[in-house]
Amino acid sequence: MTTVTRSFDDAWRRWIAENLLLDAPPSALHGALLGHGFDAADVTREIEAALASPYFHGAARLRNRLRKREWILSVYSELNRMRAASGVIERCERLSRDAFFEQYYFQNRPVIITGAFDFWPACSRWNWDYLRRQCGDCEVEVQFGRESDANYEINQPRLTRMMRFADYVDLVEQRGPTNDFYMTANNTSRNRAALAALWSDVPPIDAYLDAASPDTGFFWMGPAGTKTPFHHDLTNNFMAQVIGRKHIKLVPLSDTPYMANHLHCYSRVDGGAIDFDSFPSMRQAQLIECTLAPGELLFLPVGWWHYVEGIDASVTMTFTNFLRSNDFSRRYDTYHEL
> DSSP of 320-338, one letter per residue?
--BSS----STT----SB-
Asked if pLDDT for residue 3 goes beyond 90, the answer is: no
Percent of the chain scored above 90 by pLDDT?
A: 90
Residue 47: domain span:
10-52
How far is it, in rounded angstroms, from Cα 299 to Cα 167?
A: 32
Mean pLDDT for the chain overall: 95
- Same-domain pairing of 118 and 225: yes
Confidence tier at 88 by pLDDT (50, 70, 90): confident
Phi, psi of 144 (to 5 degrees): -130, 155
How far is it, in rounded angstroms, from Cα 232 to Cα 273?
A: 18
Instruction: Give the dihedral sign, CA 12/16/22/24.
Output: positive
Confidence tier at 176 by pLDDT (50, 70, 90): very high
Which of 221, 228, 225 shows the shortest CA–CA distance to 310?
Answer: 225
* CB proximity list for 44: less than 8 A, separation 6 or greater: 30
Q: Longest Cα pair distance anywhere in the chain, in angstroms?
A: 83
Torsion of CA 230, 101, 220, 269, to 10 degrees: 0
Paired with 239 in beta bridges are: 298, 318
pTM for the full model?
0.90
* Residues 223, 178 contacting (CB under 8 angstroms): yes
Confidence tier at 1 by pLDDT (50, 70, 90): very low
Amino acid at site 208? Y
Q: Does any domain span residue 64?
A: no
Q: How far is Cα of residue 3 from the mean position of the Cα atoms in its chain? A: 49
- Same-domain pairing of 140 and 93: yes
Structural domain total, the chain: 2
Q: Does any domain span residue 65?
A: no
Is residue 297 classed exposed, middle or buried when 0-12, 13-18 and 19+ CB atoms within 10 A define those classes? buried
- Same-domain pairing of 273 and 140: yes
Asked if pLDDT for residue 270 goes beyond 70, the answer is: yes
Paired with 251 in beta bridges are: 305
The DSSP code sequence of 75-107 is HHHHHHHHSTTTTS--EEES--HHHHIIIIITT
- Same-domain pairing of 206 and 280: yes
In this prediction, residues 120-146 reach a mean pLDDT of 97
Q: Does any domain span residue 67?
A: no
Q: Does any domain span residue 1?
A: no
Q: Does any domain span residue 31?
A: yes
Region of 244 on the Ramachandran plot (φ > 0 left; ψ -120 to 50 alpha; else beta): left
Q: What is the pLDDT of residue 188?
A: 65
Which of 134, 222, 133 shows the shortest CA–CA distance to 180?
Answer: 222
Confidence tier at 45 by pLDDT (50, 70, 90): very high
- Same-domain pairing of 156 and 254: yes
In this prediction, residues 170-197 reach a mean pLDDT of 91
